[in-house]
Structure formats: C-alpha cells, structure tokens
A and B are shown apart, each in its own frame.
Chain A
C-alpha cells in the first residue's frame, strides 16, 4: 500500500527544489496532485517528471501566492477541480537576505506576504474543504532559521518563526475537526535557494551539520509525504527538523 494512495493534495511552489521533489514523491506514493507555482512552464517540467515515472497527470495552476487576487483565483480553481482535499503542502517561499540595517519595508512586506500571509490564507482555504470532510493534513514548510535565527536573515527568520507559530495555533484550532497541521523545518538543502551562498560560508555551514553534508530535497520530501499521509494520523502541532543534526 502506498502512503498517499487515493488522496488528493495541493503543493505550492512545486516547480523546483523541495516543492518539486515533494510533488514527485507524493505522486510516487499514489497521490493525485494540484500543483501551483508562478510559472506554468517550470511546473510543466515537474509534471513531465511525474508522468514519466508513471504518476497521474497533475492539475497545474499558475499562481503567485503573494498576490491576493491570484491566490483567490487559485482557490476557486482548486475548488472547481476538486471538492476533496486530503493534504496541502505550503511550500512556496522566498529568501531575501539582508543585514538588519539594510532591510527596506518593501522587502519586509514582500517576504512576509509570500512566506507567511499566503500560508495562513491557504490554511484558511484548506480548512474549509477539510472541515466538510472532517479530515485532512496541512504541512507547512518552515526552516531551521525560524528556530535558530541567522545573521543576515532577520526577515526570513521572522517569517519562518511565524510559520511555526501559525502551525501550532492552527493545529490547536483544527484538531477537533480531524485536521492535522504540522511543520517541517529543513536545514541546508541543495536547492537553488542556497546557490548564492559563498563557498567559504557554505563550508562553515557544512561544518555545523552533525552529519557533515547538505540535505537533498528528496530527503525533505519523504518527511513531508509522511506527515501528509495517515501514517502519522496522531501527529499534529509538531515541527519536524530535517537538518542532518544541525539543530542538535
């Protein structure tokens, strides 16, 4: 039996990195998927990977989660496509590094809109569909930076810490309705998000990871799929670190 057999899920930011790996793994585990990202072209690559592995063709929706109107339109499209939503993975996020004295208010708003506001809005939407069916799993992608902080990542760290707070509060509210809400906090994962980290800084980061290596997106994806599935039916309000022991 596959972990997500017969389930329908929505994954945001599914065109690359952890989102893409999660889409591929969720499909491999039997899920039917709705995938969103800013670019349909990039999403098509994810869909192709899924289909060539024998998975069900996903529904693709172009959506910039930082745009309220587009997000609202995506809700309507997802709702039109499926009345049943078993899991949601809130993965879309952006990174805008800057030291404290160099952060503009526009930058704060941009990061918070994408990394936090959309997470809350998508949880609201998902909870409505899941309340009707009295079951469901929401998995929010936080970050180890939301737990430990990091130089140059005041805004990003704040947004991810807020995601953790939102996860725990929503978990309390939604548990009586049979809806679970958890967060995954990846450490340093080999995605385009770390492409701009200078090599010496990357080496320093690696040395702080107890397992001595960066993580692969697939290693995060497997934990996300486990939380999305009924395999973890009694787990809610948790933050699962996938960081090779970086937080220890």
Chain B
C-alpha cells in the first residue's frame, strides 16, 4: 500500500469518524452508515488538510465514493 493510500485511509477514518479498519474501497456517499452530507464536509476538511490541497466545489460534489476520492486526488497531484 502506497503512502498516499495510507494517508487516504487515515483521512477517511478521521473525516467520517469511523475506525480505519472499516475504510474500504466499497465506501459510498449516502450508502455508508455515517457518510451523510454533514459528515461529507468533515471528510472534505480532512482530505484538504491531509493532502494540503483546496478542492474545487465541483470535485466536492463529485466525491461520492472512496474510489472517486482517489481519482479526484490524482487531479491535485497526489500519486498512488
């Protein structure tokens, strides 16, 4: 697992307030318990601070799963 992948899992756990063991590729917005619109903002704050980026609003709205997050982060120069 790459360093970025570890950081991503950590950011998801912190943002969604779930144990890191529960962070999997299957996480999806609204289909994952606890990942509602309020938690989404905490997740974005967590991703922003972890990767030191400032996501555009379109990307925030598009970030609907763990896999999508990975793809969006690549746009900001994060390498997996």
Contact = CB atoms under 8 A, between A and B. Distances in A.
A125 B52 CA distance: 14
Interface stretch (A3-11, A33-41, A126-134, A143-151): A126-134
B49 to A, nearest CB: 4
Q: Say what secondary structure dominates the interface of chain B.
A: helix
Contact of B45 (A72, A75, A128, A176): A128
Given A131-B42, A173-B38, A177-B42, A79 B54 contact: yes
Interface in B4-57: 38, 41-42, 44-46, 48-49, 52, 54, 56-57
Interface of A: 72, 75-76, 79, 83, 121, 124-125, 127-129, 131-132, 173, 176-177
Contacts of B52: 83
Contacts of A72: 56
A132 B54 contact: no
B54 A75 contact: yes
Nearest to B53: A79
Given A72-B56, A75-B54, A76-B54, A132 B45 contact: yes
B33 to A, nearest CB: 18
Interface residues of B, number: 12
Nearest to B43: A131
A131 B2 CA distance: 27
Nearest to B49: A132
- Sorted nearest first, the 5 A-B pairs with minimum C-beta distance are A131-B45, A79-B54, A132-B45, A132-B49, A128-B45
Contacts of A125: 54
Contacts of B54: 75-76, 79, 125, 128
A127 B56 contact: no
B57 A132 contact: no
Contacts of B44: 128
A176 B38 CA distance: 10
A193 to B, nearest CB: 30
14 contacts: A72-B56, A79-B54, A83-B49, A121-B57, A127-B41, A128-B54, A129-B45, A129-B48, A131-B45, A132-B45, A132-B46, A132-B49, A173-B38, A177-B42
A76 B54 CA distance: 6
A132 B54 CA distance: 13
A245 to B, nearest CB: 39
